[in-house]
Amino acid sequence: MTLSADARDTFSDTPGRPRQAAGPAQRRPPVDDRPVEFWPTSSIRAALDTDDLTVWQRIVVAIKRDPYGRTARQVEEVLETAPPYGVSKALQEVLVRTRAHLEANECAEVARHVRLLLERSGLGEQEFASRIGLPTATFAAYLDGSQCPSASLMIRMRRLSDRFAKIHDARTRR
């Protein structure tokens, strides 16, 4: 038996529940009125199945606000089973780009902190790099933010800066 398009629209994937025919003029209401950060994963999944751009934009805003937060993790979970096209591909790109942007900002912030430690120590770049056991080029990459040092290296830099700042303070007090 072949069904016409109108007849198919009245059947649902869930037995006992007819599917609503959604014409171009009819849009589904937003999946959830609460902020996206409070949505369950099922609401995220339902939102990706809609054709409502405003709902997708709300999800994107939540991802940009917290790229590793609850909403981003839920979107990742939903995307694992979503077909790789349309909004799923776009949201994957939003996740990748937003996280890359966050990482670049964090590296820039670390670079500012390394620069402060260097200035506080009173040492030159080569001397500072040598005393923490790094090649000058690697230290320069930390200063310009193209690379981020490990946590243990940050501690080593702080200790060196503290030690030379104390020496400098003691000399200026005399």
Q: Report the C-alpha gap between 172 and 174 in whole angstroms.
A: 6
Tell me the per-residue pLDDT of 53-108, one tens digit each, with 9 for 90 and over: 899 999 999 999 999 999 999 999 999 988 777 888 999 999 999 999 999 999 99
Mean pLDDT is lowest, of 13-17, 45-49, 66-70, 72-76, for 13-17
Is-contact 50 28, C-beta < 8 A? yes
CATH architecture of 105-174: Orthogonal Bundle (1.10)
Helices (H), 50-86: 53-65, 70-79
pLDDT number for residue 160:
97
pTM, 2 dp: 0.70
